[in-house]
Amino acid sequence: MSPAGAQTPPSAEESFLARWLNVQGATVAIRHRDATSSAGVVTANQLQHRETLRGRLKFDQRGRYALTFGLFTGPRFSGGWDNTGWGINDAQKNLAVRALYVAARPVEGVDAEAGGLYIARGESTEITSYDEDGYITGERLRIRRPAELFFDEISATNAYFTASIEHVAVSKRLRHIDESNYQQFLLAKRVGKRVAVSADYTIETGRRTWREAMRLNIREARVIDSVILENYQRTNASAASGFAVTMEKAVTKRLDVNGGYARIDPAYGALNSDRFTIGRRVYGMATYALPKDLAASVFITNAVGRQGALPQRRLSIVSLTYNALPALRRAGLR
């Protein structure tokens, strides 16, 4: 019998599976979403669910060559949640492989990727960049050799971009892999233990956008632990700019809070986080870690000042998420 509290080592079958499969993320979540437009119309009042699974099928034991996949719910580019049918919307049953790409590391610090990719953001968040559920289809080269090239990361991406709801599944987009309407060049650098910065230049369907972001760790201030400052400037196609300032604080070992202010221009499009969309708004979020790998969170945002018509002036979300990754890793799927 194993001593109390000791972990049972993975079986031979589990170890064999872990040799080929590396699970990187797995969650099951449910949330209530309530939103009102600037005209006072309730646009959302429903219970939603979300399932995600990210992983890698390794072609060699060290995982230098692998097939990376991401399976998600959600009906569109900026939406990873399905309606349960409880509320003002009909039930949805969307589950698709959004990411599927071959990754190779021929030498240490150099990674090449090709297929249905996640979007690289550096230190920018989904407020001023693209929604975390977004995707592109193409090729990316990442170089992480700071000793020779100063920057911690240098990446270049050439891809096909679409936000069409008909192209959520990567199988619908792979036939466009030889088409190119998206290019991104990104630099990222850590300065000591306190500062991380990034900058990128992105061409997306003809729109040219610069983005800069910095994460500053100031835990010694005690009032807040870190600040994220992010900006963007679109230089053509209804040229405009925007920014977000987010402050984060770990109140206790279980309770984290963050909040801030963002301004996203009206012509940005439904590409950034669907929690923020466009406009000038304040926001706040609290996340509490529960036992059994559960987490409960509350998110609230409200537009401020006089603005034009907004599809989402006020939004509140209450969610419960189960993180299955610790359990899968205990089973040997590392």
Which tens digits make up the pLDDT trace of 231-274?
Answer: 999 999 899 999 999 999 999 999 999 999 999 999 999 999 99
Question: Could you report the per-residue pLDDT of 183-236, keeping only the tens digit for each?
Answer: 999 999 999 989 999 999 999 999 999 999 999 999 888 899 999 999 999 999
The dihedral through the CA atoms of 161, 156, 334, 61 has a sign that is positive
The fold of 28-330 is: Porin (2.40.160)
Output the six-digit token pair for 300: 């609230």
Give 92 or 8, the one with higher predicted confidence: 92
| C-alpha–C-alpha distance, residues 107 and 84, integer Å | 46
What's the pLDDT at 2?
A: 42
| C-alpha–C-alpha distance, residues 326 and 98, integer Å | 23
Buried b (16+ CB within 10 A) or exposed e, 214-231: bbebeeeeeebbbbbbbb
Tokens 């610790």, located at residue: 326
- Tell me the C-alpha to C-alpha distance, in Å, between residue 334 and each of 25, 104, 292, 294, 329: 10, 19, 19, 20, 5
Residues in the chain: 334
Judge contact between 110 and 181, C-beta under 8 A.
no
Q: In 3D, which of 133, 146, 50, 51 has the Cα closest to residue 99?
A: 133
Cα-to-chain-centroid distance, residue 269: 17
Q: What SS3 class is residue 136?
A: strand
- Considering the entire predicted model, what is its pTM? 0.91
Which segments within 161-313 are labelled E, that is strand? 182-191, 195-204, 207-217, 226-234, 240-250, 255-264, 279-290, 294-303
pLDDT at residue 10 tops 70: no
| C-alpha–C-alpha distance, residues 53 and 71, integer Å | 5
